[in-house]
Amino acid sequence: MNPKLLLDQAQIDRAREAASQIAHGVDSYIKNRSTIAVERTVLRLLGIDGVDAEYVPLPNVVVEHLLEQNVLDIGVTKWMINAVVQLKLTPQEVAERVANGSFRLTDLPWIDENQLIAEGEKWARTSLDHIQNVRQKRTALIRRLGEGKAPQLYVIVATGDIYEDAIQGKSAARQGADIVAVIRSTGQSLIDYVPYGATREGFGGTYATQENFRIMRQALDEVGEEVGRYIHLCNYCSGLCMPEIAAMGALERLDMMLNDALYGILFRDINMQRTLIDQSFSRMINSYAGIVINTGEDNYLTTADAVEAAHTVLASQFINEQLALLSGLPPRQMGLGHAFEINPNLENGFLMELAQAQMSRQIFPEAPLKYMPPTKHMTGNIFKGHIQDALFNMVSIITGQGIQLLGMMTEAMHTPHIQDRQLAVENAKYIFNNVRNLSDEITFKQDGLIEKRAQDVLAKAVEMLEEVKEIGLFQTLERGMLADVKRALTGGKGLHGVFVKNAYYFNPLEDALRERLGLKRRGDSS
- Contact map string, positions 363 to 402, toward other proteins, x by CB under 8 A: ------------xx--xx----------------------
Question: Does 52 help bind other proteins (rule: CB under 8 A)?
Answer: no
- DSSP secondary structure letters along 297-358: GGGHHHHS-TTTTHHHHHHHHHHHHHHHHHTT--GGGEE-EEE--S-TTSTTHHHHHHHHHH
- Please, are residues 36 and 45 in contact by the beta-carbon 8 Å criterion? no
Count of residues that interact with other proteins, criterion CB under 8 A: 34
Q: Could you tell me the smallest distance in angstroms from the CB atom of residue 189 to other proteins?
A: 8
**340 closest CA partner among 386, 292, 377, 294:** 377
Of 21, 415, 439, 475, which one interacts with other proteins (CB under 8 A)? 415
Can the peptide bond before residue 151 be classed as cis, meaning omega within 30 degrees of 0?
Answer: yes
**CB 180 → other proteins: shortest distance, Å?**
13
Judge contact between 295 and 513, C-beta under 8 A: no
- Within 150-179, the residues that bind other proteins by CB under 8 A are 160, 167, 170-171, 173-175
Q: How far is the CB of 159 from other proteins (least distance, A)?
A: 9
Beta-strand relationship, 232-236 and 179-182:
parallel
The letter for the amino acid at 378 is M
**Part of the chain binding other proteins (CB under 8 A), chosen from 72-80, 302-310, 326-334, 429-437:** 302-310
The separation between the first and the last C-alpha atoms of the chain, rounded to the nearest angstrom, is 42
Which own/partner contact pairs does 141-144 have at CB distance under 8 Å and 24+ positions apart? 141/221, 141/224, 141/230, 142/230
Q: Which of the following is catalytic: 49, 178, 255, 298?
A: 298
Judged by CB under 8 A, the chain residues 193 through 212 that form the site for other proteins are 203-204
User: Catalytic residue at 384?
Assistant: no
Q: Counting contacts by CB under 8 A, is residue 304 touching other proteins?
A: yes
Binding mask 453-492 for other proteins (x = CB under 8 A): -------------------------------x--------
Which window, 136-144, 267-275, 330-338, 355-363, contacts other proteins (CB under 8 A)?
A: 267-275
User: Is there a catalytic annotation at residue 504?
Assistant: no
* 312 is a site residue for other proteins (CB under 8 A): no
DSSP 448: S
Which amino acid, one-letter code, is at 271? N
To which H or E segment does residue 233 belong?
strand 232-236
Q: In angstroms, rounded to a whole number, what is the distance separating the alpha carbons of residues 420 and 426? A: 10
Check 370, 371, 420, 505 and give the catalytic one.
Answer: 370
| Smallest distance, other proteins to C-beta of residue 233, A | 17
133 Cβ partners below 8 Å, 6+ apart?
Answer: none
Which of 154, 193, 196, 263 is flagged as catalytic? 263
Q: Does position 507 bind other proteins by CB under 8 A?
A: no
Question: What minimum distance in Å lies between the beta carbon of 291 and other proteins?
Answer: 24
Q: Catalytic: 298?
A: yes
Is residue 343 close enough to count as binding other proteins by CB under 8 A?
yes
Q: 179's torsion region: left (phi>0), alpha (psi -120 to 50) or beta? A: beta
* Alpha-carbon span 164 to 178, nearest angstrom: 18
Residues near other proteins, by CB under 8 A: 160, 167, 170-171, 173-175, 185-187, 190, 203-204, 267-269, 302-305, 343, 375-376, 379-380, 412-415, 417-419, 422, 484
Give catalytic residues, as residue numbers. 263, 298, 370
